[in-house]
């Protein structure tokens, strides 16, 4: 069974440029998560989807970040415009249910903003 | 907000048992306790999950006291490949609880 797929794996952009990350969760997983992980820190939840509905986006900086999961399957996280402080690893995870869920993580996208 | 606290780092030797304790004083009734392992340049990987008492699988044990305000991950007979960061995660996202990773514990297994 294929795991969570993320692309690109690495992205280098200049500040003020837009950037988008894509995630394809494990087939059948209805819950999808986007995390940001800064160097030396634990992952920080940005947004959680239950099917196509964003059920927790309180940690998403909505002035510049947006996310969508239109058909309840794959998802895109966008930053526009990017700032220097956005440099981090962006992780996508998926799980089958909310109760006692095990999250399966993708390899992440390492973003460097110059 | 179910915040967790873990030791920053821990050293051990091959063949020893490693115990990592996580504090989560304001854990909610519906929260589960989950531990993840992360190697460099990889996403976290599930190790074990529990709600109360003791859970054991093929790689670890999880001990949860009755008040559930802490939990201890036990790794038996560690090897060099167990060198990683271990995260304690509390919450299921229901009832407004956020999914929160702790700061992580860097475990270094020495030969």
pLDDT, tens digit (0-9, with 9 covering 90-100), for B25-56: 988 888 888 899 999 989 999 999 899 899 99
Residue B13 has pLDDT above 70, yes or no: yes
pLDDT value of residue B58: 93
Using alpha carbons, select from A98, A66, A64 the residue that is nearest to residue A84: A64
Q: Which of B44, B92, B106 to mutate to test the interface with A (most CBs of A within 10 A)?
A: B44
What's the token pair of residue B57? 């699988």
Superfamily of domain B9-110: Immunoglobulins (2.60.40.10)
Q: How far is B48 from chain A (nearest CA, A)?
A: 9
Residue A37 has pLDDT above 80, yes or no: yes
As a whole number, mean pLDDT of residues A49-59 equals 89
CB A72 within 8 A of CB A5: no
pLDDT, tens digit (0-9, with 9 covering 90-100), for B69-108: 999 999 999 999 999 999 998 876 444 445 677 789 999 9
Superfamily of domain A5-113: Immunoglobulins (2.60.40.10)
Domain boundaries, chain B: 9-110
pLDDT value of residue B64: 96
Using alpha carbons, select from B24, B64, B46, B43 the residue that is nearest to residue A37: B43
Answer whether B92 sits within 8 Å of A108, measured CB to CB: no
Kindly list the distances between the CA atom of residue A19 and the CA atoms of A57, A59, A75, A83, in Å, as whole numbers in the listed order: 19, 19, 14, 11
Domain boundaries, chain A: 5-113
pLDDT value of residue A63: 95
pLDDT, tens digit (0-9, with 9 covering 90-100), for A83-107: 999 999 999 999 886 555 688 999 9
Size of interface A-B (CB pairs under 8 A): 57
Q: Which residue of A has its CA nearest to B102?
A: A42
For the residues of B20-78, what is the DSSP string, one character each?
A: EEEE-TT--TT--EEEEEE-TTS--EEEEEESSEEEE-SS-EEEE-TT-SEEEEEE-S-
């Amino acid at each position: 069974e294929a795991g969570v797929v993320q692309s690109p794996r690495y992205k280098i952009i200049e500040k003020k440029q837009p950037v988008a990350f894509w995630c394809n969760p494990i087939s059948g997983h209805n819950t999808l998560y986007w995390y940001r992980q800064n160097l030396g820190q634990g992952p920080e939840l940005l947004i959680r989807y239950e099917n196509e509905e964003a059920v927790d986006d309180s940690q998403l900086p909505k002035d510049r970040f947006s996310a969508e999961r239109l058909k309840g399957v794959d998802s895109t996280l966008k930053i526009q415009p990017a700032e220097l402080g956005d440099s981090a690893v962006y992780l996508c995870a998926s799980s089958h249910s909310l109760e006692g869920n095990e999250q399966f993580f993708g390899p992440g996208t390492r973003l460097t903003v110059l | 907000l179910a915040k967790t606290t873990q030791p920053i780092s821990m050293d051990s030797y091959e063949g020893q048992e490693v115990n990592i304790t996580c504090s989560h004083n304001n854990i909610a009734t519906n929260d589960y306790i989950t531990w993840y392992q992360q190697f460099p340049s990889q996403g976290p990987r599930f190790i074990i999950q529990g709600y109360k008492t003791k859970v054991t699988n093929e790689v670890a044990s999880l001990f949860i006291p009755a008040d559930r305000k802490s939990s201890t991950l036990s790794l038996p007979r560690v090897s060099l490949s167990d060198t990683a960061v271990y995260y304690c995660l509390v919450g299921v996202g229901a009832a407004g609880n956020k999914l929160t990773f702790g700061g992580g514990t860097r475990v270094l297994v020495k030969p």
